[in-house]
Structure 1
Amino acid sequence: MIVSFIRDRLFALFSLRLVVSFASFASLASLALITPGQAAAAEPSEPPEVEARRMVHILGYVAADYGGAVQGGAITNQDEFDEQLLLLTDAAKIASRIQPAIPPPPNASSPAVNLGADVAKVRALVEAKAPEGDVAAAAGETRAALIRVFRLAQAPTSLPNAERGKALYKEHCATCHGETGAADTPRAATFTPRPASFLDPQIGEAMTPFRVATTVRFGVSGTAMIPFTFLSEADHWDLAFFVTGLRHTTPPASEAPSYALAELAVRSDAEIRKDLAAAGIAEANHDAILADLRTRAPYVDRGSNSPLTIARSKLHRAEILLGRGERDAARSHIIDAYLEGIEPAEPAIRASDAALAVTLEDRFRSLRSRFEAGASPAEVSSEIALVMREITRAEAAVAPSRGGRTFVSTAISSAGILLREGVEAALLIAALLGLAAQAGLGDRKRYVHLGWGVALVLGALTWLVSSKLIAISGARRELIEGVTALLAMAVLFYVSYSLLAKREVARWMKFLRERVSKRSAALSLFGVALLAAYREAFETVLFYQALLASNAPVSAAVAGAAFGAVVLVLLVLAYTRAGRFAPPQVFFKISSYLLYALAVVFAGQGVAAMQLAGVVPLHPVPFPTVAALGIFPTLETLAAQLVLVALAVVALVVSRSGSPAPSAPQAAAPSAKPQEKAEPPSSSSAMAGS
Structure 2
Amino acid sequence: MKKILLVLLMILFAMPLQASDKLIQFIEYIGADYKSAVAEGQIINAAEYAEMVEFASLIPPQLPDGNAALLQQSELLQQLIKNKAEPADIQQLTAKMRQTIIAAMPQVALPAKIPDLQRGQALYQSYCAACHGANAQGDGLAAKGLDPEPTNFHEFERYEARSIFGLFNTITLGVEETAMTSFSYLDEQSRWDMAFYVGAIASEQVELSNTPTSLITRNNIQMLLTSTPQDVKQQYAEQGEALMAVFRQQPERFFSAKNTDPLQVANDTLSLIIPQLEQKQYDQAYNLAVAAYLDGFELIENNLAAVDLTLKDQIENKMLGLRQHIKQQAGLSELTLEIQAIQQLLSQAEAALDNSNLASGNVFLLALLILLREGLEALLVVAAIYSVAVKTEQPALKRSVHYGWISALALGGLTWFIASYVITISGASREMTEGYTALIAAAILFYMGFWMHSKTSNEQWQQFINTQVGKALKTGAYFGLGTVVFLAVYREIFETILFYQSLWLQGGAAHQMSFILGIIAALGLLAILGIGLFKFALKLPLKAFFGSTALLMIVLAFVMTGKGIAALQEAGVIAINQLNTPTISWLGIYPTVQSLAAQLILLVLATVILLNQRKQKTLA
Taking structure 2 as the reference length, the TM-score comes to: 0.53
Change over 3 Å in CA distance of 1:518–1:360 after alignment to 2: farther
Q: Distance in 1 between matches of 2:465 and 2:436?
A: 27
Contact 2:458 2:542 in 1 (8 A): yes
Counterpart check, 1:421 vs 2:374:
yes
Question: 1:642: which partner in 2?
Answer: 600
Question: Which residue of the partner structure matches residue 653 of structure 1?
Answer: 611
Q: Is residue 381 from structure 1 mapped to residue 381 from structure 2 by the alignment?
A: no
Q: Which residue of the partner structure matches residue 557 of structure 2?
A: 599
2:359 to 401, 405, 409: 405
1:511 and 1:355 map into 2 onto residues whose CA distance is 51
Secondary structure of 1:517 counterpart: helix
CA contact 1:310–1:337 (8 Å) conserved in 2: yes
Change (3 A) 1:443 1:326: closer
The one-letter code of the counterpart of 2:598 is A
Summarize the Cα distance change of 1:560–1:376 in structure 2 as closer, same or farther, 3 Å threshold. Answer: same
Alpha-carbon distance in 2 for matches of 1:441, 1:391: 53
**Shift in alpha-carbon separation, 1:364–1:590, aligned structure 2, 3 A:** same
Residue 519 of structure 1 and its aligned partner are, at CA, apart by 4.1
**Which of these residues, 361, 365, 370, is aligned with residue 320 of structure 2?**
365
The 8 Å contact of residues 488 and 532 in structure 1, kept in 2 or not, is answered as yes
From 387, 405, 411, give the equivalent of 1:458. Answer: 411
Aligned partners of 2:395, 2:544: CA distance in 1, in Å?
A: 20
Pair 502,608 (structure 1): closer, same or farther in 2 beyond 3 Å = same
Shift of 1:457: 2.0
Count, aligned residues: 360
Letter in 1 for 2:604: A
Structure 2 residue aligned with 1:545: 501
Deviations 1:343-387 (A, max 9, x none): 344465457666654443222112223444554434333432332
Distance 2:409 2:474 in 1: 26
User: How big is the shift at 1:388?
Assistant: 1.5
User: 2:492 is aligned with what amino acid?
Assistant: E
CA distance in 2, matches of 1:489, 1:645: 13
In structure 2, the partner of 1:507 is 460
Q: Are 2:438 and 1:480 equivalent residues in the alignment? A: no
**511, 514, 524: which one pairs with 1:566?**
524
**Alignment correspondent of 1:523:** 479
Give yes or no for contact 2:368–2:522 (8 Å, CA) kept in 1: yes
Q: What residue in structure 1 maps to residue 402 of structure 2?
A: 449
In the alignment, residue 586 of structure 1 is paired with which amino acid? A
Superposition deviation, residue 475 in structure 1: 1.3
For residues 660 and 454 of structure 1, do their structure 2 counterparts lie closer, same or farther at Cα, with a shift above 3 Å needed? farther
Distance 2:581 2:474 in 1: 42
1:327 to 282, 297, 320: 282
Q: 2: distance between equivalents of 1:543 and 1:336?
A: 16
The one-letter code sitting in structure 2 at the alignment partner of 1:395 is E
Q: Alignment partner of 2:386: what SS? A: helix
Paired residue secondary structure (1:553): helix
AA aligned to 1:489 is A
| 2:324 partner letter | S
- 1:452–1:530 Cα contact (<8 Å) kept: yes
Cα displacement string for residues 376-419 of structure 1 (whole angstroms, at most 9, x for unaligned residues): 434333432332233223333555987x732x443322211211
| 1:451 and 1:528 in contact (8 A); partners too | yes
SS at match of 1:658: helix
- How much does 1:324 deviate? 4.8
Q: 1:395 to 1:478 in 2, by over 3 A?
A: same
Show the counterpart of 1:584: 542
Structure 1 window deviating more from structure 2 (446-455 vs 529-538): it is 446-455
Q: Deviations over 1:20-76 (max 9, x none)?
A: xxxxxxxxxxxxxxxxxxxxxxxxxxxxxxxxxxxxxxxxxxxxxxxxxxxxxxxxx
Q: Compared with structure 1, are the counterparts of its residues 507 and 610 closer, same or farther at alpha carbon in structure 2 (3 Å cutoff)?
A: same
1:391 to 330, 341, 346: 346
**Are the structure 2 counterparts of residues 658 and 634 from structure 1 closer, same or farther at C-alpha, using a change threshold of 3 Å?**
same
Mapped partners of 1:519, 1:358: distance in 2? 48
In the alignment, the residues of structure 2 paired with residue 657 and residue 626 of structure 1 have an alpha-carbon distance, to the nearest angstrom, of 34
Larger radius of gyration: 1
Q: CA deviation at 1:424?
A: 0.6
Larger deviation, residues 607-616 vs 485-494: 485-494
Residues 603 and 630 in structure 1, CA contact (< 8 A), matched pair in contact too: yes
Q: Which runs of 5+ in 1 are unaligned?
A: 1-259, 261-301, 662-690
The aligned counterpart of 1:340 is 295
User: Partners of 1:303 and 1:419 in 2: how far apart?
Assistant: 26
Amino acid at match of 1:629: L
Q: 1:317 is aligned with what amino acid?
A: L
One-letter amino acid of the structure 2 residue matched with residue 487 of structure 1: I
Q: Distance in 2 between matches of 1:369 and 1:500?
A: 40
Q: Quick one: structure 1 residues 556 and 329, their matched pair in 2 at CA, closer, same or farther if it must change by over 3 Å?
A: closer
| Mapping for residues 215-234 of structure 1, pairs under 5 Å | none
5+ residue gaps in structure 2? 1-213, 215-256
- Counterpart CA distance in 2 for 1:371 and 1:505 is 57
**1:303-323: CA deviations, max 9, x gaps?**
996433232233223234334
Q: Deviations over 1:110-129 (max 9, x none)?
A: xxxxxxxxxxxxxxxxxxxx
Q: Determine helix, strand or coil for the equivalent of 2:482.
A: helix
The aligned runs of 1:346-357 (5 Å cut-off) are 346=301, 349=304, 356-357=311-312
Within the alignment, does 1:313 sit opposite 2:249 as a pair?
no
CA distance in 2, matches of 1:509, 1:572: 28
Are residues 304 and 390 of structure 1, via their aligned partners in 2, closer, same or farther at CA, if it must alter by over 3 Å?
farther
Which letter maps to 1:494?
A: Y
Overall identity of the aligned pairs, in %: 36
Q: Which has the higher helix share?
A: 2
Residue in structure 1 matched with residue 513 of structure 2 by the alignment: 555
Deviations 1:582-632 (A, max 9, x none): 222112111101111111111111111111111112223443322221112
The answer on whether the counterparts of 2:562 and 2:599 sit within 8 Å (CA) in structure 1 is yes
- Identify which of 600, 606, 612 aligns with 2:570: 612
Root mean square deviation, CA, Å: 3.2
Decide whether the 8 Å contact of 1:372 with 1:619 is kept in 2.
no
- Could you give the per-residue CA deviations for residues 541-583 of structure 1, whole angstroms, max 9, x where no partner exists? 1222222221253333222212211211221211221123222
Shift of 1:463: 1.7
* CA distance in 2 between partners of 1:372 and 1:583 (Å): 53
TM-score (norm 1): 0.48
- Is the CA contact (8 Å cut-off) linking 1:419 and 1:568 kept in structure 2? yes
- How big is the shift at 1:432? 0.7
Q: Cα gap change, 1:570/1:329 in structure 2, threshold over 3 Å: closer, same or farther? A: same
Separation in 1, partners of 2:302, 2:362:
16
**Kept in 1: contact 2:303–2:366 (CA 8 A):** no
Question: In structure 2, what is the Cα distance between the partners aligned to 1:461 and 1:650?
Answer: 42
What is the CA-CA distance between 1:507 and the residue it aligns to? 2.1
Distance 1:509 1:528 in 2: 25
Q: 1:581 is aligned with what amino acid?
A: K
User: What is the letter of the counterpart of residue 630 of structure 1?
Assistant: G
The alpha-carbon distance between structure 1 residues 472 and 415, as it changes in their structure 2 partners (threshold 3 A), is: same
Kindly provide the amino acid, as one letter, of the partner of residue 312 in structure 1.
Answer: N
1:635 and 1:520 map into 2 onto residues whose CA distance is 39
Partner of 2:586: 628
Distance 1:377 1:512 in 2: 65
Please state how far the C-alpha of 1:509 moved relative to its aligned partner. 5.8
In the aligned structure 1, how far is the partner of 2:259 from the partner of 2:486?
A: 38
